[in-house]
Amino acid sequence: MINFTKYHGLGNDFIILKDKYLSGFDYSALAKKICNRHTGIGADGFIVGTYNVRPEMAFYNSDGSRAEMCGNGIRCFAKFLHDEKIMTENQFSIDTLAGPQLINIQSLSPFSVTVNMGKPDFKPKNIPANTKNGKHKERITNVPLIVNNQTFYISSLLMGVPHSVVRVNSLQETDLNLVGKAIESHEWFPNRTNVDFIEVITHSHIKMQTYERGAGLTLACGTGACASAIMGNYLGYLNKEITVELPLGNLEIRIDSDNSVYMTGPAVKICEGVFHE
């Protein structure tokens, strides 16, 4: 039996466990079991918390694959740390595979937190990505890709995890599952990629949905919102401060003068219980 807690950030849901209860477990295999929506608890992702000098978040997708970071997940983990009274101050850092992330709690009711998500990396070798097109050796921006007899323009970067931003005229009129799956596993991306579909409303407002590698189409993606803001600003159609509208609410994204990206959004505790492994 394993004690668990479940949280969500704008509908992107996560099971959070403490590592001290998981001795001897294969985290990848456990993630697949516990995230299964039919035979497990059900979630988009699985977080294992470790507490040494400072807290560490180990993140797994629902298919058992390890990811470097998760924007919605780290907001939920921050609330978990506060709820469990593990971290009592309003500012602290959480270690991840993508490096330490600085947390600033803005309010407790409703819970809102700002995360310094770091800086983007446009180098294709670091994403990693290879379009096999020489002119995109430095940055992958607006590269055409044909999916389902339609041409989509792909712009890729590393925002802790690999993201490919795809601007569409209408989210509602795009087959996000079909196109997302095709791009996620395309040969250009040896480690797969998250796919962010964005519909631009104004220079400071977009609608977005993400097809997440290892999880499929989700209701929210924090790193995807940051990646979309960065790429839209770089390509000239978005301001440095924008609202990212998601199916269940908004994230506020700000790009600083040094290209650091800050994400502000909510986190909500859903339930706690016991999982019979």
Fill in the amino acid letter for 257: S
Task: List the catalytic residue out of 35, 76, 221, 226.
Answer: 221
What burial class does residue 24 get, using C-beta atoms within 10 Å of its C-beta: 0-12 exposed, 13-18 middle, 19+ buried?
exposed
CA dist 266 and 105 (Å) reads 10
Annotation marks residue 76 as catalytic: no
CA distances to 11, 19, 25, 68 from 31, in Å = 18, 13, 10, 15
Listed residue (197, 159, 157, 161) closest to 179, CA to CA = 197
Length of the chain: 277
Annotation marks residue 70 as catalytic: yes
Task: List the catalytic residue out of 35, 70, 76, 226.
Answer: 70
Listed residue (146, 145, 136, 186) closest to 162, CA to CA = 186
CA dist 269 and 215 (Å) reads 21
The catalytic site residues sit at 70, 221
